[in-house]
């Protein structure tokens, strides 16, 4: 692997680490302000929204200039988001600006991988990338739990005295600001891959028409459509289950937010294990044979309802995460390969991000509505599990036909 790949990997790790800790801190800020419960999924919706709204534009932007420069701009927006949160801004708006930066960042980082590496290295590179990303998710949720733990208010006291909008979370916010600042500085060092693409019109109407056409191309491709269906379903359900696990840990196990965040990170540990196994045992051509693994993964989730202690819950969540990592990494690599072959690196990642984050918005919207309607937790967990297994069964039947 070239040195440039490891630098991009490092920026990705640090940025994802800060993003996941940001979500936990933002949830704690909503609770500190005594906001309604449906605001918590709204935080995730706000972060994800720009992935969908900007999808027709971020792909062409990533292809129109060196991708390291796009990463630099994206991390600058995340730094600004933390400054706004420190100033007392509404956490939904602050995390939305961070999502704006992440939406710009995604096509650049994944597109740069396809430009730097040959096709035969994509599964291995995706394994590294997914492992680093999920490690960042693990440590990010653990870090977020630490930043909202009782220890941090003691460190925040000197800042609270001069803060216009007093909060016990100032020290944690400053930690996140420092991490995003380091990611910003590392982005300066990302070199240009040298890849160049034909220039196209940046008029909104032309971009929307072209983006619609690119969506059709990828969905109509046999392997592209298959892998897109899988990743869209799993990203949507996974984003919602992330919040459901936090709620379940609080209601079923009586854990506070800080400890529930640690338990959530255990799932990501399993994903790392699954991703590592996938890089060793699964070739790109074998990706579509793994669809039954997705069905098994969905059937395991309702077992949470039978568990009453954190240790057993951790073991189950590690297993679910391992199956997810073993399954998603080859599918993601297959989708990237088909997308880069049929379109361009940046444009294919933008199409992928649009569909996956659209699925996340839809699922999170249902979850926020369910909270507003006071739907009990057990039907929600069973419903999302049925959605995973049933969806995978339909995709599997379609692929065999």
End-to-end CA distance of the chain: 38
The label of the residue with tokens 């790790």 reads: 13
DSSP 282: -
Question: Higher pLDDT residue, 280 or 245?
Answer: 245
Burial 184-210 (b: 16+ CB within 10 A, else e): bebbeebeebebeeeeeeeeeeebeeb
Q: How far is CA 7 from CA 75, 78, 102, 179, 329, in A?
A: 15, 19, 17, 16, 21
Instruction: Report how far residue 133's alpha carbon sits from residue 243's, in angstroms, rounded to the nearest whole number.
Output: 18
Mean pLDDT of 213-231: 82
Q: What was the pLDDT predicted at 163?
A: 46
Instruction: Report how far residue 366's alpha carbon sits from residue 301's, in angstroms, rounded to the nearest whole number.
Output: 18
Mean pLDDT of 209-215: 83
Question: Higher pLDDT residue, 108 or 311?
Answer: 311
Mean pLDDT of 43-69: 78
**Phi and psi torsions of 190, nearest 5°:** -70, 120
Write down all domains in the chain, each with its CATH number in brackets.
3-186+207-400 (1.20.1250.20)
Q: What was the pLDDT predicted at 95?
A: 92
Residue 382's pLDDT band (cuts 50, 70, 90): confident
Mean pLDDT of 202-207: 73
Q: Across all residues in the chain, what is the average pLDDT?
A: 78
With the CA atoms of 359, 361, 362 and 367 taken in that order, what torsion angle do they form, in degrees rounded to the nearest 10? Answer: 120
Q: What was the pLDDT predicted at 164?
A: 45
Question: Nearest 5 degrees, angle CA 101-CA 174-CA 22?
Answer: 45
Kindly tell me if the per-residue pLDDT of 288 is higher than 80: no
Residue 78's pLDDT band (cuts 50, 70, 90): very high
Q: What is the DSSP string of 75-91?
A: HHHHHHHHHHHHTT--H
Angle formed by the axes of helices 377-400 and 291-300, to 10°?
170
């Amino acid at each position: 692997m070239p040195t440039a790949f490891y630098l991009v990997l490092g920026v990705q790790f640090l940025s994802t680490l800060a993003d996941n800790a940001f979500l936990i801190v933002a949830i704690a800020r909503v609770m500190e302000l005594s906001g309604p419960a449906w605001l918590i999924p709204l935080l995730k919706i706000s972060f994800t929204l720009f992935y969908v709204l900007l999808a027709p534009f971020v792909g062409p932007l990533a292809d129109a200039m060196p991708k390291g420069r796009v990463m630099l701009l994206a991390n600058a927006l995340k730094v600004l988001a933390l400054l706004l949160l420190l100033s007392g801004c509404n956490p939904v708006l602050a995390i939305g600006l961070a999502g704006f930066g992440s939406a710009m960042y995604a096509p650049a980082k994944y597109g740069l991988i396809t430009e730097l590496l040959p096709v035969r290295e994509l599964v291995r590179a995706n394994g590294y990338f997914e492992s680093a990303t999920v490690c960042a998710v693990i440590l990010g949720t653990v870090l977020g739990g630490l930043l909202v733990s009782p220890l941090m208010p003691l460190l925040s006291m000197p800042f609270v005295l001069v803060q216009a909008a007093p909060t016990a979370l100032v020290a944690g916010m400053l930690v996140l600001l420092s991490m995003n600042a380091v990611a910003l500085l590392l982005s300066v060092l990302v070199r240009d891959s040298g890849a160049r693409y034909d220039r196209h019109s940046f008029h909104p109407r032309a971009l929307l028409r072209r983006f619609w056409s690119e969506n059709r191309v990828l969905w109509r491709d046999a392997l592209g459509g298959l892998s897109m269906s899988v990743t869209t379903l799993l990203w949507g359900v996974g984003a919602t289950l992330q919040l459901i696990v936090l709620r379940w840990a609080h209601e079923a196990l009586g854990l506070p937010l800080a400890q529930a965040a640690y338990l959530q990170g255990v799932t990501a540990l399993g994903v790392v294990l699954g991703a590592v196994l996938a890089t060793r045992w699964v070739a790109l051509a074998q990706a579509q044979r793994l669809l039954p693994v997705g069905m098994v993964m969905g059937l395991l989730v309702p077992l949470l309802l039978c568990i009453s202690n954190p240790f057993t819950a951790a073991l189950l969540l590690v297993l679910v995460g391992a199956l997810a990592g073993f399954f998603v990494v080859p599918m993601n690599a297959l989708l990237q390969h088909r997308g880069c072959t049929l379109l361009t690196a940046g444009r294919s990642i933008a199409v992928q991000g649009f569909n996956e984050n659209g699925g996340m918005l839809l699922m999170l919207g249902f979850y926020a509505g369910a909270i507003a309607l006071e739907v009990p937790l057990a039907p929600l967990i069973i419903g999302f599990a049925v959605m995973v297994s049933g969806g995978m069964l339909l995709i599997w039947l379609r692929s065999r036909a």
